Structure 1
Amino acid sequence: MCASGVSNPLDIIKVRQQLRTQSARANSFWVVGIEMARSEGLRSLMNGFSASMLREFVYSGIRLGSYEYFKDAVYQISDGRLSRDSLGLKVAAASIASTIGSALANPADLVKVRMQAYYPSGTPYRNMRHAFATIWKQGSTAANGSGTSFMPGGLRALYRGVSPTTVRGVILSTSQICSYDQVKQVLKRRGVMEEGIPLHLTASMFAGLFCSITSNPVDVVKVRLMNDHSHQYNGVTDCIKTILRSEGPVAFYKGFGMCWARLGTVTIVTFVVFERIRLLFGVAAM
């Protein structure tokens, strides 16, 4: 939550970049940021802050909080076939933890994206609670007469884009948490660095770059689907095909500079604060 709060302005600029479908339009983060400040005011850079806090409380709370629990569980299930230091064990644990976290946090993630999007006539949401209620109501209204489903229409609306959200969560978390864990382990084992803030900073810098490269394409698809009010995309596959057809493969890396700036910042703050909190409560370092 601390990391997300620090990086919220970078996050909203990244979302605006990823929502732009015009390939010829200037889309650098400086252009987008200046446009927002001029037309919507500096406070617009903190849009979606409350939803972002809720999302991180659920998503990162679960993926970081349960990572080592699942490492122990998978190790026991493997019955010694996986070593404690193996990359496979780390990937399995991070995948399970992030799948649960990202799936449960999808409604808050969707509300965050909707609150951060640009609306020519002004945002339709007064606050996070109003956004949740509005999206639920729209989903319930759209579901009337559309057949039966095990899931209420309002809940389906809040879970729109859950597939790419979960995939992105798994890709981001496995590349972020595993690379941080692995880089730390290698640097300590080779005697390059010892446990402490310099090691945490170094490992988190590498982790921020790795997870930015792997997660940006899925993030673009996730943001487009979550903000698809008119349902122009018929699912994940159709969204990918449409982007490829109309904007080309480079479109999947729209907002990469801001994604890296944001994820790099988030990763550094997350792991440094995480390790400090562990130390404060007498828990061994990751």
Structure 2
Amino acid sequence: MSSLLKPFSVCEGPCESCGVRRGCPGSAPHHQPSSRRLAAAAAAAGPGSLPTHQRSYAARRNLAAAAIGGRKLTHPGKAILAGGIAGGIEICITFPTEYVKTQLQLDGRANPPRYRGIGDCVKLTVQDHGLRGLYRGLSSLLYGSIPKSAVRFGTFEMLSNPMRDHTGRLDNTRSLLCGLGAGIAEAIVVVCPMETLKVKMIHDQCSLRPRYRGFFHGVSEIIREQGVRGTYQGLTATVLKQGTNQAIRFYVMNLLRNWYKGDDPRKEMHPIVTAMFGATAGAASVFGNTPLDVVKTRMQGLEAHRYKNTVDCAFQILKQEGPQAFYKGTVPRLGRVCLDVAIVFVIYEEVVKLLNNVWKTQ
């Protein structure tokens, strides 16, 4: 009778050796605590109160509970596939704004500026090269956007899944850190060489006699003349830009998602809501790191040899063009990024939902 009145103790939960050692109290089915019970006891007692094997057990059960009772955890493989699809579709829609932004950033004040503004840039480009001119450099960005988004979302899910609580909720500070990690990974693996090629090809179009006849010709010429290092110009600026970019975007997106869902992690987000939150996250990242984007663009242009390093580039821009130069191309970048992030998050979420129906994972 005394055993029936004995209060529940976390120490009586199943241990790793239950399956092979007789007499373990956790081996009896009626003594095994549920994931919610074990998680609640762990939260009440504090993380340091549980033995190591029971803490790891609780973490595994929390992840399982998240997939069942709250937001379904996204398998990294699904994140990679969905991210790649979203990135490819997005860049085909938004590239003309990226082209205009890059041209305005390369149009330094040291020499008489060629363009008077966004409209003038579009007008002169179409006048000289036709509508296809607004898509010059698309191939280099398209070839890179698919793996870029794949690496970004795959890394984010890989980092964030173990950090979620038993409902699948990710707190805002951890989303900032996971976004930072995702941005650094995509910068090193994909973005830096991709952006260098894109900027060189767009800059080459400003020349009286363009040298590059296409993506593969441009790549071969750059590597022949400068080696592989030629595709990694501005790496420091790119890592800083992409790291802060994704940290801000995932932080804002997660903040708005948690606010919207409140205490109900199962609450579905309509694609329009996702798009609005994505656009807001994109706008926050633009105002937060456009100066880094300007420095990165200059470091990757055809005149990058003028700068000793990233700091020297920033100093020369400040000295020769003034602080306002760090926000060149903000308006076209704002339009592109807001549309970019909104499209990517909507397509990503919808593709993940589709993959969950055809690709069963735990």
Q: Which TM bucket (shorter chain)?
A: 0.7 to 0.9
Matches within 5 A, 1:1-150: 1-22=88-109, 25=113, 26-73=115-162, 75=163, 84-105=169-190, 106-117=192-203, 118-139=205-226
For residue 230 of structure 1, report the CA deviation from its aligned partner: 5.8
Task: Give me the whole-angstrom Cα distance separating, in 2, the residues matched to 1:112 and 1:165.
Answer: 13
Kindly state the Cα deviation for residue 122 of structure 1 after the two structures are TM-superposed: 3.5
Q: CA deviation at 1:5?
A: 1.2
Which residue matches 1:143?
Answer: none
Aligned equivalent of 2:279? 205
Q: Is 1:281 matched with 2:281?
A: no
Q: State the percentage of identical aligned residues.
A: 22
Kindly provide the amino acid, as one letter, of the partner of residue 135 in structure 2.
Answer: M
Unaligned runs of 5+ in 2: 1-87
Which of 212, 228, 232 is the equivalent residue of 1:155? 228
Structure 1 residues 136 and 99, CA gap change in structure 2 (3 angstroms): same
After superposition, the Cα gap between the structure-2 partners of 1:84 and 1:187, relative to the gap in structure 1 and judged at 3 Å, is closer
- Whole-Å Cα distance in 1 between the matches of residues 209 and 344 of structure 2? 33
CA contact (8 A) 1:212 1:259 kept: yes
Q: Distance in 2 between matches of 1:198 and 1:250?
A: 34
For 2:177, give the aligned amino acid: A
Where does 1:206-225 land on structure 2 (aligned, <5 Å)? Answer: 206-225=280-299
Instruction: Identify which range, 19-28 or 91-100, moves more after superposition.
Output: 19-28
Counterparts of 1:223 and 1:199 in 2: how far apart (Å)?
32
1:84: Cα distance to partner? 4.7
Confirm or deny: 8 A CA contact 2:155 2:185 kept in the other structure.
no
Q: Which of the residues 235, 242, 253 maps onto 2:327? A: 253
1:189 aligned to which of 262, 265, 276: 262
* C-alpha RMSD of matched pairs (Å): 2.2
Question: Which residue type is aligned with residue 238 of structure 1?
Answer: D
Per the TM alignment, residue 119 of structure 1 is displaced from its structure 2 partner at its CA by 2.6
AA partner of residue 342 (structure 2): I
Work out which structure has the larger RCO, using CA pairs closer than 8 Å and 6 or more positions apart in sequence: 1
Instruction: Give the deviation of 1:190 after TM superposition.
Output: 7.3
Q: Whose radius of gyration is greater, 1 or 2?
A: 2
Partner of 1:146: none
Q: Is the partner of 1:261 in helix, strand or coil?
A: helix
Secondary structure (helix, strand or coil) at the match of 1:66 reads helix
Q: Residue type matched to 1:166 in 2? A: V
Q: 1:60 and 1:201 mapped to 2: Cα distance? A: 17
Larger CA deviation: 168-177 vs 64-73: 64-73
Letter in 2 for 1:130: H
Aligned to 2:54: none
Taking structure 1 as the reference length, what is the TM-score of the superposition?
Answer: 0.86
CA–CA distance in structure 2, aligned partners of residues 122 and 84 of structure 1: 55
Q: What is the distance in 2 between the residues matched to 1:14 and 1:50?
A: 17
What is the CA-CA distance between 1:157 and the residue it aligns to?
1.1
User: 1:198 deviation in Å?
Assistant: 2.4
Query: One-letter code of the match for 2:290?
Result: N
- CA shift, 1:95, in A, is 1.2
AA matched with 1:220? V
SS at match of 2:307: coil
SS at match of 1:121: coil
Give the counterpart of 1:240 among 295, 314, 317.
314
| Cα distance in 2 between the residues matched to 1:19 and 1:94 | 28
For 2:201, give the aligned amino acid.
M
Give me the whole-angstrom Cα distance separating, in 1, the residues matched to 2:272 and 2:232. Answer: 40
Secondary structure of 1:157 counterpart:
helix
Which residue pairs with 1:178 in the alignment? Answer: 251
